[in-house]
């Protein structure tokens, strides 16, 4: 007897998900002297959402189906279901919902992958996904209460609760990654970011932010605060090792404590074509993986293995790599695993978090925005990836395809040429609050 199949039983074809645009605020140093000291976290997100709409005028705000914003410390001005509050504060129609996400450093990355799944399935056409971290207002771990079973039952090494200690552990596991090598990598990151600024590669995606400090009045911030151009290996050699006596991790070869926000527009390929939105990248695959929490920095390796397998690709197929530089040793352990040289030109062409900063949950979209800009610069590269380690022993990786490549496999590359016509807010020196 033949069993009838209802229409809902038929397999649903997944849709292509494309990265339309990404922006971020300048990243600031956390603390009372930082550029964002007097600015609320939710207002930083609002700046980014409004800028996305300004840059993409063909998108009716009511066509945004959801707003996913990540924050690691979800309290105060980073609480209140920040995706929804940011949507309301940005002036989106009240019909546009929103939600909050926490996957520590991979918050914005998870905001992208989570909403991308909804787009692929057909639940969404267009979404905003991003993240924010105001580490000046909310220091890492503020209000956290780790379960005592972690220690009493030896479920997690106590070192896993301090990111600097996990980086020292990674040095222990891979003794070939010396402090000298980490310092050399860090100095190179500073030099690459300085060159990218000189060539105008960073500024087009920065949203100028006004800030006010007591006794100083208002000022406009249109550049990142953490970079130290001209840093040399010799400058870094004498820095103290705060996590371990005679250790290898310093403030110079690790990302700092930072404030900042990011936001991106994702869409189905069909919606992008319908609305005349640019297509900067196509999502190919993504994966998250867990590792021992005490060596969380190795997390990008198994995550990348999973993402490559799902995409049917090999690391040799990846022409550009954006690896979050939480610590130099974490990046170097990834490169060593794949036999990639420390100075391989495919890696972090515009510099990384050691130079530009790492406002935790915001950083995932910063990686994607920089990769999209590099795709525009180099149409000979077909595939790129964004990857990062995550606290408590995880890693996340997203693989993207360049729509400018001759063999682009996406079904709807319309709008590619439109990106060149978008004016840069930073170059215009405008504040779009």
Residues forming the active site: 105, 358, 389
Report strand pairing: 383-390 vs 318-323.
parallel
Residues 132 and 362 sit within 8 Å (Cβ to Cβ)? yes
Q: Are 109 and 397 in contact (CB under 8 A)?
A: no
* Residue 153 burial by Cβ neighbours in a 10 Å radius (0-12, 13-18, 19+): exposed
User: Interior CA angle at 123 toward 120 and 126, to 5°?
Assistant: 75
Q: Would you tell me the crossing angle of helices 328-337 and 300-311 to the nearest 10 degrees?
A: 40
Q: Is 364 helix (H, G, I), strand (E, B) or coil?
A: helix
In three-state form (DSSP H/G/I as H, E/B as E, the rest C), the secondary structure along 153-171 is CCCCCHHHHCHHHHHHHHH
Taking the C-alpha atoms of residue 8 and residue 43, their distance in angstroms, rounded to an integer, is 43
User: Which residue stretches of 2-94 are H helix?
Assistant: 41-55, 82-89
Opening angle at CA 280, ends 258 and 424, nearest 5: 60
């Amino acid at each position: 007897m033949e069993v009838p199949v209802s229409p809902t039983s038929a397999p649903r074809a997944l849709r292509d998900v494309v990265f339309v645009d990404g922006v971020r605020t300048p990243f600031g140093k956390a603390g009372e002297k930082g550029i964002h000291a007097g600015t609320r976290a939710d207002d930083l997100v609002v700046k980014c959402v409004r800028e996305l709409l300004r840059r993409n005028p063909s998108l009716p705000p009511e066509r945004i189906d959801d707003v996913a914003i990540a924050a690691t410390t979800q309290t105060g001005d980073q609480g209140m279901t920040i995706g929804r509050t940011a949507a309301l504060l940005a002036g989106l129609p009240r019909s546009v919902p929103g939600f909050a996400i926490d996957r520590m450093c991979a918050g914005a990355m998870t905001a992208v992958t989570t909403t991308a799944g909804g787009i692929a399935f057909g639940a969404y056409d267009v979404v905003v996904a991003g993240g924010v971290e105001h580490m000046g207002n909310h220091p890492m771990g503020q209000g956290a209460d780790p379960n005592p079973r972690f220690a009493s039952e030896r479920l997690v090494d106590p070192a896993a609760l301090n990111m600097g200690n996990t980086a020292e552990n990674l040095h222990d596991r891979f003794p070939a990654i010396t402090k000298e090598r980490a310092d050399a990598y860090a100095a190179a990151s500073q030099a690459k970011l300085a060159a990218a600024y000189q060539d105008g590669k960073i500024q087009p995606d920065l949203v100028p932010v006004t800030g006010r400090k007591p006794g100083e009045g208002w000022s406009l911030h249109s550049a990142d605060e953490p970079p130290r151009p001209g840093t040399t290996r010799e400058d870094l050699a004498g820095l103290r090792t705060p996590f371990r006596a005679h250790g290898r991790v310093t403030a110079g070869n690790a990302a700092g404590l930072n404030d900042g926000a990011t936001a991106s527009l994702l869409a189905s390929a069909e919606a992008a074509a319908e609305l005349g939105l640019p297509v900067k990248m196509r999502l190919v695959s993504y994966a998250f993986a867990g590792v021992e929490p005490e060596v969380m920095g190795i997390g990008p390796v198994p995550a990348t293995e999973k993402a490559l397998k799902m995409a049917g690709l090999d690391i040799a197929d990846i022409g550009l790599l954006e690896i979050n530089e939480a610590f130099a040793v974490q990046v170097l352990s990834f490169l060593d695993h794949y036999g990639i040289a420390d100075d391989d030109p495919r890696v972090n062409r515009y510099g990384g978090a050691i130079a530009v900063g790492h406002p935790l949950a915001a950083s995932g979209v910063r990686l994607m925005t920089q990769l999209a800009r590099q795709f525009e610069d180099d149409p000979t590269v077909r595939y790129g990836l964004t990857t990062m380690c995550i606290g408590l022993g995880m890693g996340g990786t997203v693989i993207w395809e360049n729509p400018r490549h001759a063999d682009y496999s996406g079904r709807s590359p319309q709008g590619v040429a439109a990106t060149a016509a978008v004016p840069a807010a930073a170059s215009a020196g405008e504040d779009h609050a």
